[in-house]
Chains A and B, each alone.
Chain A
């Protein structure tokens, strides 16, 4: 099983990680934790000090926005996950 995970340009600039990652299984939240395991700087922008997911993190699966209650739903082979931060600069 293979899931492609894309990290947004802002997030990969802040965490100094690459754009595309392959994850073998899990939920959207598991994908983030998997990648953050190899890129600890990512967690500063996605999780609080107690390990809770920050509300500024957004997940899309196959181009569809995931709501909070959908983040632990298992993904399927071939799914594509896009992880971004909410932004408001002008």
Chain B
């Protein structure tokens, strides 16, 4: 149950119609895994912790480097060479000691991904397609909501995946561009904040989720484009699991 301190801490957000103490209690009970504690995972973690998501699990197998700090704002100079999950956990707990933050410093593999995710809602803040596809497999098999974001340069993408209702990651991507590509810190900041917004809306039942749609952020022209995305009837991950009317096969 939320207490007096919660009522003070979260008062301004609970004023939003449809939120209130009941919504705040739902956030307190919510379980979210943030896969990747880098450019996207930094704002996602900070805003979900600040909003009072009660159980946050951080996944990342890397250590903090100087070259991360222009975009991975959850970490600081004093965190260089620390595990990212430990640095981020300390920052989130300092921001909100009332929530539970777990730090799992493992690389995501096919052997461990089901255990790492459990039954938590998944925020995809990864930096490679292979790990995204592993997380997607868990989401599809277990019917977990999946909040996808991706960035490079001054471009970002976001969509919300509800297995059985929307395309999955494997429906969306056949391949991705690779190489040492640019990224500007404000791009994952924009996309990560939108991912966190979707997570909060999902648990609160507020508004319309970004399902069946993908938002494309163009930081150069400062425009957002919305495109429709659809399930791939030949998708190796979701086509055999869910019928095209929405339910399990």
Contact = CB atoms under 8 A, between A and B. Distances in A.
Q: Do the two chains belong together in a single complex?
A: yes
A59 to B, nearest CB: 10
Nearest to A84: B216
Interface stretch (B20-28, B139-147, B148-156): B148-156
Contacts of B149: 90
Nearest to A55: B175
A88 B228 contact: no
Given A56-B176, A84-B216, A90-B41, A10 B126 contact: no
Contacts of A64: 227-228, 230
B174 A88 contact: no
Contact of A13 (B36, B153, B157, B175): B153
Given A63-B226, A84-B216, A90 B125 contact: yes
A33 interface: no
A86 interface: yes
Contacts of B152: 10, 87, 89
Interface string A55-90: 110001001110100000000000000101111111
Contacts of A60: 227
Interface string B180-194: 011100001000000
Nearest to A89: B152
Given A64-B228, A65-B229, A88 B128 contact: yes
Contact of B126 (A13, A86, A88): A88
B225 interface: yes
A9 B174 contact: no
B1 interface: no
A56 to B, nearest CB: 4
A8 interface: yes
B15 interface: no
A69 B155 CA distance: 27
Contact of B218 (A9, A54, A88, A89): A9
Interface string B215-231: 01011110001111110
A29 B166 CA distance: 27
By CB atoms of chain B within 10 A, which of A12, A85, A90 has the most? A90
A86 B132 CA distance: 13
By CB atoms of chain A within 10 A, which of B151, B155, B182 has the most? B155
A90 B230 contact: no
B38 interface: yes
A19 B221 contact: yes
B13 to A, nearest CB: 26
Given A9-B218, A9-B221, A87 B157 contact: yes
Lowest 10 CB-CB distances: which A-B pairs, in order? A55-B175, A90-B127, A86-B176, A9-B155, A88-B176, A10-B155, A56-B175, A89-B152, A85-B177, A9-B220
Interface of A: 6, 8-10, 12-14, 19, 45, 54-56, 60, 63-65, 67, 82, 84-90
